């Protein structure tokens, strides 16, 4: 593995740069500055490729830097609802709890469903719906446990309750299938499973919802015709561009586009199959090691690229030991979190397993 790293198993934190992204960014830098037409092409292509990945229309895709920005755009873009509650849960990454709190300034209550234990419980969320929710914010795959939410049970129920569903898909887009039919809003960033530079993310908004949304930032790029730089009257773009701000980080999208093209060529079904096979194998092998308790579900429908485990050991010490062996993982929520992508080799998974066995045998 390049750079003397024994195994890179940390896509859920900060990814390695995909070779296709590195190549494309290098070429763009050599050619810098890009022409206005080339920039417009890159941004258009970003919307088209992301839309293709999730089965949406390019007009339903806004370019946003990260999940925080996606949440802010939704928070300030939603028409005011007579409903007063925004519902999250105790297992969310801070972004998907804190960033909603700006809505408290608009008179909403942001409340959390308390989960018991490390795994998300669909019925607990559904039982908490009161009919007063304007929006439910939820991860698709949880950053600590790697649990993949059963959206087939969640989305129809949330819709039937009259609420919108916002999906934080930062831990699922690019690794497992994510479909525009699974939520009203889907957000992701570029620094994890899309294997690019952070700061060039995406927000999908379902057409029917988009039509009622107000431009949250009223940036010049959110107008009907950003080419009209003499405009004196603000006219919002008819599509999801109305949720955007100023000029996006174009080099980042050059990289993301190159990766999206690769992923679409491979096929997200094939990527998912490979990742689930590797994580399934990792879970089986870890479960056989005495003193290890795998937290991530073994049901392939309930996991993606993350495998988290705890047991009769200090996870920090295990993490430090793995780092000393050149094995890059994270420690989250009292668990060791390994994350595996479609480019991960069997040797990298073997290296992790051997090092875990060594650590526990006190070598
Ligand atoms: C589920 C999830 N959402 C969001 C983020 C980060 O938020 P942002 O894109 O605003 O930096 C992370 C980062 O680890 C995450 O795991």
Q: Ligand 1 center to residue 293 CA distance, Å? A: 26
For residues 64 and 243, is the Cβ–Cβ distance under 8 A?
Answer: yes
Tokens 């925004």 correspond to: 86
Half-sphere exposure of 341 (CA within 13 A, CB side): 24
Q: Which atom of ligand 1 is nearest to the CA of 143?
A: 16
Burial of 70 (0-12, 13-18, 19+ CB in 10 A): buried
Q: What is the pLDDT of residue 74?
A: 98
Tokens 């730089």 correspond to: 229
Q: CA-CA distance, 50 to 191, in Å (whole number)?
A: 15
Which pair of tokens denotes residue 92?
């969310």
Using alpha carbons, select from 131, 76, 138 the residue that is nearest to residue 104.
76
Tokens 């690229």 correspond to: 305
Tokens 């690794």 correspond to: 175
Using alpha carbons, select from 216, 242, 232, 251 the residue that is nearest to residue 30.
251
Residues 119-163 pLDDT 10s: 999 999 999 999 999 999 999 999 999 999 999 999 999 999 999
Which pair of tokens denotes residue 270?
């094939």
Using alpha carbons, select from 172, 149, 182, 181 the residue that is nearest to residue 299.
149
Q: What is the pLDDT of residue 362?
A: 84
* Cα-Cα-Cα-Cα dihedral sign, residues 285, 263, 201, 78: negative
Q: Please tell me if the CB atom of residue 189 comes closer than 6 angstroms to any atom of ligand 1.
A: yes
Q: Please tell me if the CB atom of residue 65 comes closer than 6 angstroms to any atom of ligand 1.
A: no
Q: Please tell me if the CB atom of residue 92 comes closer than 6 angstroms to any atom of ligand 1.
A: no
* Cα-Cα-Cα-Cα dihedral sign, residues 168, 172, 174, 179: negative
Q: What is the pLDDT of residue 68?
A: 98
Residues of the chain falling short of pLDDT 50:
1-4
Pocket test for ligand 1, best of 63, 66, 67 (most atoms within 8 A of CB): 67
Q: Please tell me if the CB atom of residue 147 comes closer than 6 angstroms to any atom of ligand 1.
A: no
Which pair of tokens denotes residue 239?
């599509």
Residues 199-245 pLDDT 10s: 999 999 999 999 999 999 999 999 999 999 999 999 999 999 999 99
Q: CA-CA distance, 319 to 324, in Å (whole number)?
A: 9
Q: Ligand 1 center to residue 199 CA distance, Å? A: 11
The pTM assigned to this predicted structure is 0.97
Q: Ligand 1 center to residue 169 CA distance, Å? A: 9
Which pair of tokens denotes residue 86?
């925004």
Which pair of tokens denotes residue 131?
């009919």
Angle of helix 268-287 relative to helix 346-360, nearest 10 degrees?
20
Q: What is the DSSP letter of 353?
A: H
In a 3-state reduction of DSSP, which class is residue 166?
strand
Q: What is the pLDDT of residue 312?
A: 93
For residues 176 and 141, is the Cβ–Cβ distance under 8 A?
Answer: yes
Kind of pairing, strands 109-113 and 133-139?
unpaired
Which pair of tokens denotes residue 350?
């073997």
Q: Please tell me if the CB atom of residue 188 comes closer than 6 angstroms to any atom of ligand 1.
A: no
């Amino acid at each position: 593995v390049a750079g003397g790293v024994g195994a890179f198993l940390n896509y859920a934190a900060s990814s390695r740069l995909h070779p296709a992204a590195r190549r494309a960014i290098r070429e763009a830098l050599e050619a810098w500055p890009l022409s206005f037409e080339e920039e417009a092409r890159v941004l258009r292509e970003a919307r088209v490729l992301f839309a293709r990945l999730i089965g949406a229309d390019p007009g339903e895709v806004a370019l946003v830097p990260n999940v925080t920005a996606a949440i802010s755009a939704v928070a300030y873009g939603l028409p005011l609802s007579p409903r007063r509650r925004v519902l999250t849960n105790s297992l969310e990454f801070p972004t998907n709890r804190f960033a909603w709190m700006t809505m408290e300034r608009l008179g909403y209550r942001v409340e959390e469903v308390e989960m018991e234990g490390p795994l998300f419980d669909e019925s607990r969320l559904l039982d908490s719906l009161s009919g007063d929710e304007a929006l439910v914010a939820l991860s698709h795959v949880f950053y600590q446990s790697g649990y993949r939410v059963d959206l087939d049970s969640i989305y129809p129920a949330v819709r039937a309750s009259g609420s919108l569903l916002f999906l934080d898909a930062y831990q699922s887009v690019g690794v497992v299938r994510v479909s525009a039919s699974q939520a009203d809003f889907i957000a992701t960033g570029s620094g994890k499973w899309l294997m690019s530079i952070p700061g060039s993310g995406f927000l999908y908004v379902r057409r029917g919802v988009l039509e009622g949304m107000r431009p949250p930032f009223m940036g010049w790029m959110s107008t009907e015709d950003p080419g009209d730089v003499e405009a004196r009257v603000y006219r919002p773009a008819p599509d999801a561009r109305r949720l955007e701000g100023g000029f996006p980080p174009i080099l980042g999208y050059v990289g993301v586009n190159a990766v999206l093209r690769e992923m679409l060529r491979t096929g997200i079904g094939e990527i998912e199959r490979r990742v689930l096979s590797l994580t399934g194998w990792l879970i089986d092998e870890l479960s056989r090691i005495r003193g290890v308790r795998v937290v991530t579900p073994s049901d392939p429908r309930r996991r993606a690229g993350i495998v988290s485990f705890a047991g009769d050991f200090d996870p920090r010490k295990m993490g430090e030991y793995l780092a000393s062996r050149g094995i890059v993982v994270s420690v989250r929520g009292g668990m060791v979190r390994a994350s595996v992508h479609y480019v991960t080799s069997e040797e990298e998974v073997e290296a992790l397993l051997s090092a875990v066995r060594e650590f526990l045998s006190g070598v």
